[in-house]
Structure 1
Amino acid sequence: MKFLLSVYPYLAPLVLAPLAWWLWSDEYGGDSKLVLIVWGLPILWSYIVPAIGTNVLKVWEFDVRWRLGRFRPQHGFVFGSATAMLAWLVHGSAAQSLTDSLRQAFVLASVLGFWNLLYDIKVLELGILRVYNQPWADGKGEAAVAMDYAPWFFAGFGAVYGLVIGLVEQYSTWLSTWFRTGAVLSVALVLACAVPTLGYMARSRRLYGHAGTRPIQPVNINHVDGELP
């Protein structure tokens, strides 16, 4: 299992990234502006949020051969291309109303929240990923560590992502220029980064008395010079 999960981050982007683009392009009749938003949003999100969580806040860390600091350089395509594929798999007909868009938000929140939770539990168990949050500091198991952040970041992103897909399908005629497409993608990216993060921070403050955006020192471990791993 560890071998498969170690190889997957290198092979999957080479296959899933172009495949996801092709499938969404076929779904949208070759409309590259729509495809760019649906395909690009999860890739950009999974570069920005994990990069900050690893190299800036140092709450997460990847234990892999090739990495930039604590972050694997291809991570955006590892998570993003797989996410775009999952979104295509559960996508039905194009949204025609706000109800359709909200339905897509619920479906993607459920799908991404569930599968990424299982994935993160496994990579935590195998040591590929390390997360220095409050449950880790309290000595709890990998499931508790993942449950602390995964529902907020993955299901939260899925909700925003699904809503964005529905809304751009509803108002696809408005995306008549690349400038408008870039503006929509930028706004969607800001919301996708902010909404899950703010929700996670609010919950962490309520439960633990801190925002959960810094590595937590285990009370029964003294590291050299007081530093975390």
Structure 2
Amino acid sequence: MRRFFSIYQYATPAVFFPLTYWLWLNRYHGNHAFVLFLLAIPIVFSYVIPALGTNWLGLWEINTRVRLGKFRPHHGFLFGTGTSLLTFLSFDSPEFSFSGLFRSALVLASVLGFWNWIYDIYAIDCGFITAYNQSYADGKGAEAIATEHAPVYFGTFGFLYGLMLNTAQHYLIDLGRISLYWPLLILFIAISLVFPSLAYIGLSFLRHGHSGLKPFEKIGG
């Protein structure tokens, strides 16, 4: 399984990023600007948050050969590609309404929360990722360790990403409000960085009585 992750981390951005870009470009009829908009959000998110979590807070590390500290230099394109491809397969561009927004948010929260949780369980189990959280300190297994962060973090991101894509499509594509391109992109990236982190911190306080922003050593080891 560890060999799979070692290959996957390079194959995904090298092979599937161009494919994902082409799929989105085809859906939006050659609109490169909008495709870059929707790809930029998960790519920036998965550079900033993991870089801070590994190299600044020391909450986890990726046990692979090519690293910048405890972090992969291509991590943003790895997660960004996977997120964008899963989104392409599950986001059907619903109408801009309360029900459409909620459906987009709920679908992507479920899809991204679930598959990233599964990914992290197996990555932690085979030693490809080490997460120094409360469950790790308590000597629990990979499922418990991954459950500390993956569902809430990626689920919250997915929920927000669904709202963002629906909103961006309405204003930038349907209404042609191109002047909103950069304000929306900056706002959405900021939201994607802040609110999943707040959700994780809040859930950590409910579970353990602390923020979850401090690395833990394994008890007795």
TM-score strictly above 0.5 = yes
Aligned counterparts of 2:112 and 2:10: Cα–Cα separation in 1: 21
Aligned counterparts of 1:84 and 1:168: Cα–Cα separation in 2: 15
Aligned counterparts of 1:156 and 1:166: Cα–Cα separation in 2: 16
Q: What is the identity, as a one-letter code, of the residue corresponding to 2:5?
A: L
> What's the RMSD between the two structures over aligned residues?
1.4
1:65 aligns with 2:65: yes
Hey, what does 2:117 align to over in structure 1? 117
1:176 aligns with 2:175: no
Hey, what does 1:204 align to over in structure 2? 204
Q: Work out whether residues 97 and 170 of structure 1, in 8 Å CA contact, stay in contact via their aligned partners in 2.
A: no
Hey, what does 1:224 align to over in structure 2? none
Shift of 1:183: 2.0
Q: Work out whether residues 39 and 84 of structure 1, in 8 Å CA contact, stay in contact via their aligned partners in 2.
A: yes
TM-score (norm 2): 0.94
Give me the identity figure in percent: 40
Aligned counterparts of 1:28 and 1:95: Cα–Cα separation in 2: 15
Q: Deviations over 1:150-174 (max 9, x none)?
A: 0111111101111101111121235
2:149 match: secondary structure? helix
Matches within 5 A, 1:98-109: 98-109=98-109
Shift of 1:64: 0.1
Hey, what does 1:13 align to over in structure 2? 13
Hey, what does 2:218 align to over in structure 1? 218
Q: What is the identity, as a one-letter code, of the residue corresponding to 2:188?
A: A
Aligned counterparts of 2:9 and 2:141: Cα–Cα separation in 1: 24
Hey, what does 2:49 align to over in structure 1? 49
Hey, what does 1:193 align to over in structure 2? 193
Hey, what does 1:25 align to over in structure 2? 25
1:39 aligns with 2:29: no
Shift of 1:84: 0.3
Stretch moving more, 109-118 or 181-190 = 181-190
Q: Work out whether residues 20 and 39 of structure 1, in 8 Å CA contact, stay in contact via their aligned partners in 2.
A: no
Q: Deviations over 1:54-83 (max 9, x none)?
A: 001100100000000000100001110111
Aligned counterparts of 1:207 and 1:91: Cα–Cα separation in 2: 32
Hey, what does 1:227 align to over in structure 2? none
Aligned counterparts of 2:157 and 2:93: Cα–Cα separation in 1: 21
Shift of 1:94: 4.4
Aligned counterparts of 1:72 and 1:96: Cα–Cα separation in 2: 37
Shift of 1:218: 3.4
Stretch moving more, 94-103 or 61-70 = 94-103
Q: Which runs of 5+ in 2 are unaligned?
A: none
Q: Name the count of aligned residue pairs.
A: 219
Stretch moving more, 95-104 or 79-88 = 95-104
Hey, what does 2:4 align to over in structure 1? 4
Aligned counterparts of 1:207 and 1:86: Cα–Cα separation in 2: 30
Shift of 1:93: 3.6
2:130 match: secondary structure? strand
Hey, what does 2:145 align to over in structure 1? 145
Shift of 1:219: 3.9
Aligned counterparts of 1:95 and 1:5: Cα–Cα separation in 2: 37
Q: What is the identity, as a one-letter code, of the residue corresponding to 2:79?
A: F
Q: Which runs of 5+ in 1 are unaligned?
A: 222-229
